[in-house]
Amino acid sequence: SQTIHQWPATLVQPVGSPLSLECTVEGTSNPNLYWYRQAAGRGLQLLFYSIGIDQISSEVPQNLSASRPQDRQFILSSKKLLLSDSGFYLCAWSSVYNQPQHFGDGTRLSIL
């Protein structure tokens, strides 16, 4: 069966520090991969999605970037975090377009 792992679960970082959140999927190949951010009490906002290695689309101009160094690995990064980057970040995968997305457990990011 397929599983998705996302870490760390919780992260506290100072303003201006770098960020690296990692997501990996097991049990499938060539998944579509997604990064979302959820502000407190709000819905999910799509940040990036990838349909293959080196094929990454950005939905919202921002301080973040994404990379997909391997087929089943998706990384969310920042060189310098801002206070506004605080939130709950979720990684997800789907097998093909229009199939349900399956989510990781999320990372709660707090910027001090």
Partner 1 sequence: AQTVTQSQPEMSVQEAETVTLSCTYDTSESDYYLFWYKQPPSRQMILVIRQEAYKQQNATENRFSVNFQKAAKSFSLKISDSQLGDAAMYFCALEGAQKLVFGQGTRLTINP
Positions in the binding site for partner 1 (CB under 8 A): 32, 34, 41-46, 49, 51, 59, 88, 90, 92, 97-98, 100-103, 105-106, 108
In this complex, which beta carbon is closest to partner 1, that of residue 78 or of residue 101?
101
Element spanning 8, H or E: none
Phi/psi region, residue 45 (left: phi>0; alpha: psi -120 to 50; beta: rest), is beta
Beta carbon nearer to partner 1, 18 or 27: 27
Given the complex with partner 1, which of 46 and 71 has the nearer CB atom? Answer: 46
**Which residue, 14 or 100, is less far from partner 1 as judged by CB?**
100
- Least distance to partner 1, CB of residue 79, Å: 26
The nearest distance, CB 102 to partner 1, in angstroms, is: 7
Return the exposure string of 61-71: e unless at least 16 CB atoms fall within 10 Å of the residue's CB, then b.
eeebebbbeee
Task: List C-alpha distances in Å: 71 to 15, 50, 60, 65, 109.
Answer: 31, 10, 23, 17, 25
Judge if the upstream peptide bond of residue 18 is cis by omega within 30 degrees of 0.
no
Q: How far is the CB of 50 from partner 1 (least distance, A)?
A: 11
CB of 39 to partner 1, least distance (A): 10
